[in-house]
Structure 1
Amino acid sequence: MEGWTRAGLFTRGFGPAPRAGGPNVVLVHGLGLSGRYFVPLARRLAARGASVLVPDLPGNVRSRSAARRAPEVVELAGALRRWHRELALGPSLLVGNSVGCQVVAALAAREPALVERLVLLGPALEPGAAGLRQCGRLVADAPREPPGLLAVAASDYLVTGPFRFAASFRHALRDAAESFEVHLARVVAPTLVVRGSGDTIASRDWTRRVAGIVGDGRTAEVNGAAHAAHYSRPGAMAALIEQFTAGECA
């Protein structure tokens, strides 16, 4: 694993050097976190021959200094677009988790040429659900996650900081209410919407709704996983992604 900063974003790299024509995979983290919790999945995808890049979004953890305040979701997507173009990756497979799903959906809607395929893992915020209810779902999910993930998340939240986390949460709620479904409707890339079978945050009905909004969407579940299936069941997630890229997910 290597780490460097490009376009202001600290990035972890796995597997061969990225190149136009790929296969290049970009993993996009959720609210207040870093890319660290994607490491188990990144290693498995790289072992299968993919070039895997895991940026910390601006304002978060090792890219905290890239933003003076907590960016809006569309601003995060814009930063990801600039980073993607500076690296000259070409069309890539984007994988977003939780609020990261909103970021990659915004990017895919605005820059379809950059996105070959899209994986939305546990899209977190359902439009119309109150903020306190969303927080309650997050609290309910925590005991279902591995202790190692909780340690990583706690550390990342402390570095990002409570004020930025709270501001980012408000931005994400507003994006979910006003823009997320609009962006999804503009996504043209084949899209796989995944949830862990024990996820208390992204319900089965909601993930099916998300898949139905995009032009070419389908769903899958990872048994024995909660919200962060990429951390608790990285082998199963890697296999799903491989099947999806091979066109085997119905």
Structure 2
Amino acid sequence: MKTRPEVDFSSPLCQPYEVRQGEHGVLLMHGFAGSAAHMRPLAEGLVQQGFGVRTINLPGHATTMDDMRRCSWQDWLNAAKEAFREMKEQYRFVSVTGLSMGGCLTLMIAEQSDPTAIAPISAPMGVLNRWFPLARFAAPFLPEISWQARKDDALTPDYDLGYTGFPTKSAVDLRRIIHEARNNLCAVTCPVLCVQSSGDQVITPDSADVILQGVRSKTKGVLRLESVPHVCTISREGARIAQALGTFFRKAEDSERT
């Protein structure tokens, strides 16, 4: 196995971030091979609007890829559900948002529970990489996929902290999460705001449309971004995303109050 580059997750931005305030809390979840740093600017933007927030690092993330290899999709889902349960004990209203795989976990929480509102961001209903479906066949022969670390000029570098690769078996778990989230969309009835960029080169372009067509929510919409990458929460559109989510969550809160 070739030597993989190490990632330094010692930055405080990579650590879970929590601010308790108000009656409405928001759970924020990063994506596959990412870290809590990807959700930090959005969390801070919501705090400025009066929301309580909590970001988490999913099991096997922001440590080592060996840790990730030992985790399964059930571990990620259980961590998300446990964080949501804890926030339900702390707040009258709890909304959920997540990036990429975190967006799929957001949908799965709404499929199984009762958040005030949800906002899946760059949530894949399909993946553009044509080799993705073959991960389960490749895993025994290619245990790990890695790449040279490089910074995307469209992303804020201080927050662009995630693995420079992933265990191949973890891609199989990601595929399972996408499958589970997509197959149970009809169970979602809470307000839904999807966020997706035309510049996303990771997920299928119709992902947001598939979600909105599949859910049974009466209140649903989409924030369409232009030309920013998949990890749009740390792009130049970050402030716009935070404002849109804050407004949407407040409207859902007001509706739940009446």
TM over 0.5: yes
Counting helix residues as a fraction of each chain, which structure ranks higher? Answer: 1
Equivalent residue, structure 2, for 1:195: 196
Tell me whether 1:157 sits opposite 2:159 in the alignment: no
Q: Tell me the residue number matched to 1:146.
A: 154
Looking at structure 2, the residues matched to 213 and 134 of structure 1 have their Cα atoms a distance apart, in angstroms, of 26
Contact 1:121 1:195 in 2 (8 A): yes
Q: Secondary structure at the match of 2:17?
A: strand
- Based on CA coordinates, which of the two structures has the bigger radius of gyration? 2
SS in 1 for 2:110: helix
CA gap 1:11/1:213 in 2 versus in 1, 3 angstroms? same
The gaps in structure 2 that reach 5 residues or longer are 1-11, 136-146, 253-258
Pair 1:244 & 2:248 matched: yes
The farther-off stretch of 199-208 and 116-125 is 199-208
Q: Deviations over 1:197-241 (max 9, x none)?
A: 311223442211211111123222123422122111221001111
The aligned residue for residue 27 of structure 2 is: 26
Report matched runs for 1:209-248 at 5 Å.
209-216=210-217, 217-232=220-235, 233-247=237-251
Rounded to whole Å, the distance in 2 between the matches of 1:105 and 1:85 is 15
Provide the TM-score with structure 1 as the length reference: 0.74
> Aligned residue for 2:255?
none
Q: CA deviation at 1:132?
A: 4.1
Once the two structures are aligned, what percentage of the paired residues are identical? 19
Partner residue of 1:12? Answer: 17
Structure 2 match to 1:78:
78
2:85 and 2:250 map into 1 onto residues whose CA distance is 25
Scaled by the length of structure 2, the TM-score of the pair is: 0.72
Structure 1: unaligned runs, 5 residues or longer: 4-9
Offset at 1:148? 3.6
Root-mean-square deviation (CA), in Å? 3.4
1:29/1:56 contact within 8 Å kept: yes
**How far apart are 1:69 and its partner, in Å?**
1.4
Shift of 1:196: 1.8
Q: In structure 2, do the counterparts of structure 1 residues 94 and 67 end up closer, same or farther at CA, with 3 Å as the change threshold?
A: same
